[in-house]
Amino acid sequence: MNETLVWPVFVEAYHAISKHYVPVMDEKAAEYELPERGGWLLLPALTFDPDNISAEKLCIRSPYTSARRFQAGLEELVAGGFLIVESENDLDYRLSPLGRGAIMAIIQAGYECMTALHPLDHVELESLADILNKLVHACIEAPEPPGKWSIRHSRRIDPGDVAPVMVRIDQYLSDLAAYRDDCHLAAWQIYGVEGHAWEALTVLWRNGMFTLDGLCEQLAHRGFTSEEYQVALADLIRRGWVNLDDGEYCLTELGVKVREAAEADTDDYFYRPWSCLGNQALNNLQTQLTRLKTVLEMGL
């Protein structure tokens, strides 16, 4: 069986689970009056614990987001008492007792929601968890590239083997999504472009032509300015990857080849560890993830 057929089902199953517990976690977060911009950074802070968190570290996994946006969110958490300043330059932080208590309560609310889910019988869920666990550890042990920054930090909040089976499945899915990020970073950073430039290239690759204003609107959540995207696009034009025609940016033939090559390399890195699974295990994985997704979506 071709393992690439499993990934789309994997993503759908992961989203199907999260649609159940994310609203519950949001409700719990609201009880702590977390700041709107910074509240989403409390979970990453836990993945770095006991090490400090910083905008610089957050940009390693997500170089597509402005460090300014990360910094503003971290400062909001400090203002709310959820983080403590941990360096003389005020750029490194750690969880405060309030912050630790809040994120642990939020996570626990999510765990309780997942524990109440029974989309498949227990034996089938345990079988799925075992396959995913084996795959996660194969990714961690795989030779570099890619690096393991994202998956190793994801594993830091693993609830352990005694956690309820749906909690473990969600953790393993999160770990594998993190490893996918590691693989994609390894695939495109060899070209020496900035993260926001690469994402602009990806938007054009997926969606076709964009004006500068349209591209900025598409990527407004990343926190970069129009001027920064204009400079990034100028770099892509210089490389011969993008053309500007009558105010609209589009990929050149070379740009398409570069982006498609990075996607192919991402898949190559990502699926190498999957050799630890035989055809039967892959078939079981696809079948179980499909059934899990279907039942969970029916329950919404």
Q: Which residues pair with 245 in a beta bridge?
A: 248
- Domain 189-263 fold is Arc Repressor Mutant, subunit A (1.10.10)
pLDDT at 299 over 80: no
- Domain 32-117 fold is Arc Repressor Mutant, subunit A (1.10.10)
pLDDT at 249: 98
Residue with tokens 């070379």: 254
φ/ψ (deg, to 5) at 49: -55, 135
282, 1 Cβ separation under 8 angstroms: yes
Helices (H), 116-164: 122-141, 149-155
pLDDT at 41: 96
**Mean of per-residue pLDDT scores for the chain:** 95
Fold match flag (32-117 vs 189-263):
yes
Q: pLDDT band at residue 38, thresholds of 50, 70 and 90?
A: confident
Domain limits, the chain: 32-117, 189-263
181-201 pLDDT per residue, tens: 999 999 999 999 999 999 999
**Mean pLDDT across 233-250:** 97
What is the C-alpha to C-alpha distance for residues 91 and 86, in angstroms, rounded to an integer? 8
267-296 pLDDT per residue, tens: 999 999 999 998 899 999 999 999 999 999
pLDDT at 300: 57
Comparing 5 with 82, which gets the higher pLDDT? 82
To the question of pTM greater than 0.85 for the whole model, the response is yes
Q: Which of 26-40, 170-184, 195-209 bottoms out in mean pLDDT, i.e. has the lowest?
A: 26-40
